[in-house]
Chains A and B, each alone.
Chain A
């Protein structure tokens, strides 16, 4: 038998056959290790758990346009593709324009958005009534509602005049001029036309945007079989005489004719025409913030109001990620140079970081206190053990044990206790963290395999440190005491 085997045999015998005292030491180490591994698990899991909670505070990242390029569905999509889909809790587009109330002539900010996404990115919005669910419906900010005296289900008329003044708008019809116009079609949805004039001032080309119309009926008006009927005709047109309507889409067909007759000369081909819409108030928004001064409507309505589709000013994102991760997305999106500038909502991300920091500091503090208490407990127990075993230690020394052997033996026992306590503590700690997580956050946690060796190591170090004082006591014992017949 080797010395090492005998060493282990002595240590295990000491622990297994002298149970009661060692059990107390083991228990205190195990409890210390439990708290350690439990809290460390929570420490690492809390940020993940808290992300979800924090998302209630609203968007933590926004996308705005870069270098005067407009924010479009295309570049927003490209930017979003850099963030894992499961991390994106909500992505809400906003298009802001200044709109006027027809009756009161008061100006307000009108925002076109996607209400389903609003619910995800701004969970704190309090809506009296309901979010708009169809066309020609608005969500009024409380302030707006109070100013204009609108109530739920009131109908308001909003008008939008593009700020960009058309050069030579309404100017003379010259060969080669481009005209754009719009008119209300089916269900009051607008139909847009863009046409160019030939040398003889007849229609040389025509494009119809009937996308707001019922696709299978009015939608046909955008097709060539219909638009070709207009070619070569001189303005203004008379519906039914100059052009026949598409059967089943008379209203849209007539709208196309009206739009052509209304069309103004533009310099470029993009139509910038204003419109006036009658809209029903379905909800009144109470946020306590600037949103109370806005009029929210669907993107479809915004497009109808401005004549521009697929254009955003801001994209609000609620991303389930910590400050560092968010910063990395910002960098990635910037690097892509897609005409999108990402910004972090500092108010949100900073407070998240602060709260997490404090929480983690608390966990750290509690762990440290528990470890110190564990050390005190183990140290006291081991001192009692040394006192209890004075005769045995004296005997060992009388038999020829050096101070070094006595040290090694006690340290060995202490570290063996640490090992057992660490294993026990990891298991109990995981259970502890699981219970805490389920009760506090309502979700379970995953086991960190690295925690087992770390907990064992820490427990062993802690118990070894706890043994230092008792070992000094043990080494000081006089071997002669065994001779005195005590």
Chain B
């Protein structure tokens, strides 16, 4: 059953077609990587999937609902309820502690719950760093907090934009292990990346070039619950 379906979407900026008649579908519980060089339309696609932009043409079905015509206010609500975001630059509120950063997400979604937020930190192995400010955390630790934050509201879809782009190998592995475990638990993952190694961790890779889907690769070597060391 498909969770996300892009049907013949195009995004046109004047003369430029950032996306040109792209169709993609992602199944419930699937782990998909999106690759492509700069300017291939990755960011545009990511914005549309993340409910932060709308296509010029085509339909976007998320959980069976067409979100391509929704108002930006409705898109905000959909994003809040269904999507967990992870960013390359981590993006934490720099004057809030790790646990407070997670609670911000709860605050906008429903109700802040410090206990639950602490449990999420426990899950990414950072229970003891809960009351540290971002400036007191390493890059890897910050990204793990962001993974915990993306998970906290039990989203249908986790959308990660270059999640390991700013991390060293050790931390990259920690993040990939977290993804691996999330996938095993049934979470749908879409990971936009430059890194072939990160792409290979997914079940399927969609390669974009010049705003079109150049090819789709089924990752034959995918191992469920694989541990990266």
| Interface positions of A (Cβ within 8 A of B) | 1-3, 5-7, 9-10, 13-14, 17-18, 391-392, 394-403, 405, 478-480, 482-486
Please determine whether A400 and B108 come into contact, CB atoms closer than 8 angstroms.
yes
Q: Mark B93-133, 1 if CB is under 8 A from A, else 0.
A: 11110001001111111011110000000000000000001
Judge whether B89 is part of the interface by a CB distance below 8 angstroms.
yes
Please determine whether A10 and B100 come into contact, CB atoms closer than 8 angstroms.
yes
Cβ–Cβ < 8 Å partners of A2 in chain B: 111-112
Judge whether B30 is part of the interface by a CB distance below 8 angstroms.
no
- Known contacts A3-B111, A398-B79, A483-B47; decide if A14 and B95 are in contact (CB<8 Å): yes
Please determine whether B73 and A402 come into contact, CB atoms closer than 8 angstroms.
yes
- Known contacts A5-B112, A14-B95; decide if A479 and B88 are in contact (CB<8 Å): no
Cβ–Cβ < 8 Å partners of A482 in chain B: 85, 87, 89, 91
Judge whether B137 is part of the interface by a CB distance below 8 angstroms.
no
Cβ–Cβ < 8 Å partners of B165 in chain A: 485
Please determine whether A1 and B52 come into contact, CB atoms closer than 8 angstroms.
no
Q: Chain A at the B interface: mostly helix, strand, loop or mixed?
A: helix
Q: Considering only CB atoms, which chain B residue lies closest to A401 in the complex?
A: B108
Cβ–Cβ < 8 Å partners of B112 in chain A: 1-3, 5-6
Cβ–Cβ < 8 Å partners of A395 in chain B: 91-93
Cβ–Cβ < 8 Å partners of A479 in chain B: 52, 76
Please determine whether A399 and B162 come into contact, CB atoms closer than 8 angstroms.
no
**Number of B interface residues in the complex (CB < 8 A):** 39
| B73, B96, B112 pick with most chain A CB within 10 angstroms | B112
- Known contacts A6-B112, A400-B79, A485-B162; decide if A480 and B104 are in contact (CB<8 Å): no
Which residues of chain B from 115 to 173 have a CB within 8 Å of any chain A CB? 133, 149, 161-162, 165
Q: Considering only CB atoms, which chain A residue lies closest to B75 in the complex?
A: A479
Judge whether B43 is part of the interface by a CB distance below 8 angstroms.
yes
Judge whether B46 is part of the interface by a CB distance below 8 angstroms.
yes
19 CB contacts below 8 A, A to B, read A1-B103, A3-B112, A5-B112, A6-B103, A10-B107, A18-B95, A392-B93, A395-B92, A395-B93, A398-B91, A399-B105, A400-B76, A401-B108, A402-B77, A483-B46, A483-B50, A483-B161, A485-B161, A485-B162
Min CB distance, A189 to chain B, in Å?
92
Partner of B100, one of A13, A18, A400: A13
Partner of A10, one of B53, B89, B104, B111: B104
Judge whether B80 is part of the interface by a CB distance below 8 angstroms.
yes
The 9 closest A-B pairs by CB, nearest first: A400-B80, A17-B95, A6-B112, A400-B108, A480-B52, A395-B91, A1-B112, A6-B107, A485-B88
Cα separation A484 to B88 with both chains bound (whole Å):
9
Cβ–Cβ < 8 Å partners of B104 in chain A: 6, 10, 396, 399
Min CB distance, B153 to chain A, in Å?
8
Cβ–Cβ < 8 Å partners of B113 in chain A: 1
Please determine whether A485 and B107 come into contact, CB atoms closer than 8 angstroms.
no
Cβ–Cβ < 8 Å partners of B43 in chain A: 483-484
| A14, A397, A482 pick with most chain B CB within 10 angstroms | A482
Cα separation A403 to B81 with both chains bound (whole Å):
16
Cβ–Cβ < 8 Å partners of A394 in chain B: 91
Cβ–Cβ < 8 Å partners of A392 in chain B: 93-94
Q: Considering only CB atoms, which chain B residue lies closest to A18 in the complex?
A: B95
Cα separation A405 to B94 with both chains bound (whole Å):
19
